[in-house]
Amino acid sequence: MSDARSTILTAIRATLRPDRAAADPAAIAAAAAGLLLRVPPLRPDRVRGAAAEAFLARVASPAVGASAERIVSLAGLPDAVRRYLAAHDLAASIALQPHPELCALDWSGIATHPRIDLDEPVAVGLALGGIAETGSLVFHSGPTAPTLFAFLPLHHIVAVAAERIWPWLEDYAAALATLPVPRNVNLVTGPSGTTDIEGTLVRGAHGPGHLHVVLVDPAYHPPASDAA
């Protein structure tokens, strides 16, 4: 046995001794707090000002490659979807995530269905929240939030509340303690893409090829031309 390996194993055995005194919980908590103090200085300079503004900027950046818009209330989501469908010359038919808040909206002129199929052209969903640091959407699975909605459509239109935009990933992690525990968590950052084949970017490789984020922000004041 090499000297280095012997040293490592000896150290491990020392920590496993039955007569070793238990670590002081207060000391452990203090050490953990000390580690957290090191986090802010190490964060990249990506979140400036309001979290929602930083989130929108990150979502629409070339690094993420999604599109985004902002509306005042969730009631405006169907109109946002209609605009998106018209702009991309898509049929007025969507897979609608079976969330009560989405189902209660006025989808006049758009055919909706609650199940999603392979190669679904368009799906509309509601994210649990977003992370400004990375421009990521947070999805927790549940009866009203099937996981496949985030992966099967070619075009995924997602509404997210401005009040649920966390500045940093650590802020989302801290919020988990106050949220119901899901069976599945997905952090989705932009449309799916890969450059595995000859270094050429291919969209929709293992998920939506197009992602459109609709930020629901009651504090938003749309331009007069948009409000008319």
CATH node for 48-227: 3.40.50.10420
Please report, as a single letter, which amino acid is at residue 201. L
Predicted confidence at residue 205, as pLDDT, reads 63
Between 68 and 194, residue with greater pLDDT: 68
The arrangement of strands across the sheet holding 155-161 comes to 67-71, 210-216, 155-161, 122-126, 93-96, 111-113
Range scoring the smallest mean pLDDT among 55-69, 128-142, 201-215: 201-215
Over the chain, what HEC string results?
CCHHHHHHHHHHHHHCCCCCCCCCHHHHHHHHHHHHHCHHHHCCCCCCCCHHHHHHHHHCCCCCCCEEEEECCHHHHHHHHHHHHHHCCCCCEEEECCCHHHHCCCCCCCEEECCCCCCCCEEEEECCEEECCCCEEEEECECCECHHHHCCCCEEEEEEEHHHEECCHHHHHHHHHHCCCCCCEEEECCCCEECCCCCCCEECCCCCCEEEEEEECCCCCCCHHHHC
Residue among 137, 148, 156 at smallest CA distance from 210? 156
Residue among 151, 167, 145, 165 at smallest CA distance from 70? 165
Q: Which residues of the chain form CATH 3.40.50.10420?
A: 48-227
The model's pLDDT over 197-228, given as tens digits with 9 standing for 90+, comes to 666 556 656 679 999 999 999 998 888 766 54
* Torsion of Cα atoms, 14 then 19 then 24 then 25, to 10°: 90
Please report, as a single letter, which amino acid is at residue 186. N
Task: Quote the distance between the C-alpha of residue 67 and its chain's center.
Answer: 14
How high does pLDDT run on average in the chain? 87
The model's pLDDT over 156-200, given as tens digits with 9 standing for 90+, comes to 999 999 999 999 999 999 999 899 999 999 999 999 866 666 665
Please report, as a single letter, which amino acid is at residue 194. T
